[in-house]
Amino acid sequence: MKTLLHPTYFPSISHYIAMIQAEELVFEVDDNFQKQTNRNRMYIYSANGLQLLNISVKHSTEKNQKYKDVLIDDSSNWQKIHLKSLESAYKNSPFFEYFIDDIAPIYQKKHKFLIDLNFETFDIVNSCLGIELPFLKTTEYFHTIENENDLRYLVNGKKDTTQIESYTQVFDDKHGFINNLSILDLLFNEGRYAVDYLKKQIL
């Protein structure tokens, strides 16, 4: 069975559970862009607790702009902010030094389209995890889909109610376990053990 998901910015752990367990992975690339979703944001665990990292995008005059046409707005210096935030949040995590050299270069590159950046973050994480996740892309948009595992709702954090098994986080002694953050949180804390963790979780 095909599993349908959106490509997102350093995807949530629930996204990775779905992707790593999928029989056949398909990415939705023909939908309209929606604000306040994980298409252009991720959540990490900082010293102050939950922290949102948001990518600025250029606002379109079109009422229904395609996700694949959304342009990144680099005027906000978001790349520098995100990299510094990751370093501050995870510099003391067990696997930060092991993986940061693979992740940091994306913050020096200039991507024109948001969706291209998101596909590259997907490639980076897969490389760090030592896995390959072959995928297809949609060629047209369907509001409802039959005979497929439609998990596109996971792109909206408010609709994603996935509860995952706890693991050790850097600041859990201060704020406790924070559920379903970006896959980077799991990667920096668990390294490649994250693969076995993802395979055991249930959506």
pTM to 2 decimal places = 0.96
Percent of the chain with pLDDT over 90: 91
CA angle, corner 52, sides to 83 and 74, nearest 5? 55
Q: Which residue has the tokens 């973050």?
A: 121
Residue (of 169, 177, 172, 180) closest to 203 by Cα position = 180
What are the E-state strand segments in the chain?
2-5, 24-27, 41-46, 49-54, 135-137, 149-150
CA distances from 93 to 39, 46, 184 (A): 26, 11, 11
Quick check: 90 and 149 in contact, CB under 8 A? no
Q: Tell me the pLDDT band of 202, cut-offs 50, 70 and 90.
A: very high
Residue 63: the pLDDT is 77
Does the pLDDT value for residue 60 go beyond 90?
Answer: no
Q: What is the mean pLDDT of residues 60-84?
A: 91
CA–CA distance, 70 with 122 (Å, rounded to integer): 18
CA–CA distance, 192 with 32 (Å, rounded to integer): 34
CA–CA distance, 3 with 22 (Å, rounded to integer): 6
Assigned token pair, 97: 């030094």
Does the pLDDT value for residue 64 go beyond 90?
Answer: no
CA–CA distance, 130 with 195 (Å, rounded to integer): 9
Residue 3: the pLDDT is 97
Q: Tell me the pLDDT band of 62, cut-offs 50, 70 and 90.
A: confident
What are the E-state strand segments in 76-189?
135-137, 149-150
Q: What is the mean pLDDT of residues 160-180?
A: 97
